[in-house]
Amino acid sequence: VRSIETELTDENWDELTENKVVFLKFHAPWCTQCRRVEQPWASVAESVNGGEKKDILIGSMDCSRGGKNKCFDLGVTSYPSFKYGHPDYLEDYTGPWEGSDLQQWAKDKLQRRCSPLSVELCSDSQRQQLEALAGKSYEELKSLVKSTEDELIGAADLTMEAALKNLQDQYEAGQTKRDETKPQLGDKADQELEELLIRLQGEYKAASAHRLQVKQEAYDSKLILLKMAEANQKRIESRAAESIQANAGRGGEL
C-alpha cells in the first residue's frame, strides 16, 4: 500500500523530488498549529499520492530532525509552512485549507510545466525561447530572471488596479442612481443595485483569475530562465574540467 504522504529528509530530498512537482508541508513536533491542518493535508495527500500522477509528490519535512539543513536552505522559519512547485524553485502556498478547496487547487496547479528538463511540455514559442537562451551566459540569464518577473507581474498589478478602480466607480455610480430613483422605483431600485453588485463581483473574480494566470506565466518564465542558466553553467564547468584533464594528460606525457 502506498504511503499517504512521503517524509522527506536532507538525505533523500534529491532522490525523491527528482523530476517531480511537489507540494510540501514543513513542520515540527512541538507545533500545535500543525495539528489543525493534519486532516485536510492527509486528504489531499491521499487523493494525489494515491492517484495516477506519479510525477507529483505530496510530502512532509520535519525541520527539527531529519530536515534541518533543507529547511534552513529554504528559509522556513515558522510552522506549519507550505511550499509547492519545482523542487529547486518553490513558491509559498498561502491559500485556503478547506478540504474541497485544497484538493481542487492541487488538481489544478500541481502539474509539470515547460522547462529545459521537460521540453516535451513546451509550446512552440517556449521551445523557441529555450533555443534563443541556449547561447547566453549564466550572468545574462540570471539578470533576465528578475526583469522578466518584474515586467510580467508589474503589468498584471497595474491592470488589476485599473480593474478595481473601474469596478468601484461603477458601483458608486450604481449607488447614486439607486438613491436618485428610489422614490420612483422603490424596491426595484435596490434590486437593480444588487444585480449590478453580482455582475461586478463576477468581473472581479475574472480579473483576479487573470492576475493569477499572469503570475503563473511569470513563474514558468523564471523557471525556464533559471534552469537554462544552470544548464549553461554546468556545460561551462564540464568543458573546463575536460580542459584541465586534457592539460594534465599532456603534462603527464612530458
Indicate if 188 and 100 belong to the same structural domain.
no
Would you say residue 118 lies in a domain?
no
- Greater model confidence, 230 or 20: 20
Indicate if 52 and 142 belong to the same structural domain.
no
Q: What average pLDDT does the segment 177-201 reach? A: 89
Would you say residue 196 lies in a domain?
yes
Instruction: Compute the half-sphere exposure of residue 219: CA atoms within 13 Å on the CB side of its CA.
Output: 17
Indicate if 94 and 133 belong to the same structural domain.
no
Q: 22: which residues sit within 8 A by CB, 6+ positions away? A: 56, 57, 58, 59, 83, 84, 85, 86, 87, 90
| Percent of the chain's residues with pLDDT above 90 | 15
Indicate if 108 and 212 belong to the same structural domain.
no
Indicate if 230 and 162 belong to the same structural domain.
yes
Indicate if 108 and 128 belong to the same structural domain.
no
Would you say residue 237 lies in a domain?
yes
Indicate if 204 and 248 belong to the same structural domain.
yes
Q: What is the pLDDT of residue 47?
A: 75
Indicate if 180 and 73 belong to the same structural domain.
no
Of 30, 53, 41, 52, which is closest to residue 7 (Cα–Cα)? Answer: 41
Q: What is the pLDDT of residue 176?
A: 92
| Percent of the chain's residues with pLDDT above 70 | 69
Indicate if 208 and 239 belong to the same structural domain.
yes
In the chain, the number of structural domains is: 2
How many CB atoms neighbour CB 93 within 10 A? Answer: 18
Indicate if 89 and 155 belong to the same structural domain.
no
Would you say residue 90 lies in a domain?
yes
Q: Are 103 and 109 in contact (CB under 8 A)?
A: no
**Full domain range(s) for residue 78:** 6-112
DSSP state, 63? T
Q: Are 114 and 220 in contact (CB under 8 A)?
A: yes
In angstroms, the CA 219 to CA 206 distance is 20
Indicate if 102 and 140 belong to the same structural domain.
no
pLDDT per position as a tens digit, 83-128: 998 887 788 888 877 667 777 788 777 877 776 666 777 778 777 7
pLDDT per position as a tens digit, 19-76: 788 999 999 999 988 888 888 888 888 877 655 567 888 899 999 989 999 999 999 9
Q: What average pLDDT does the segment 212-230 reach? A: 65
Would you say residue 91 lies in a domain?
yes
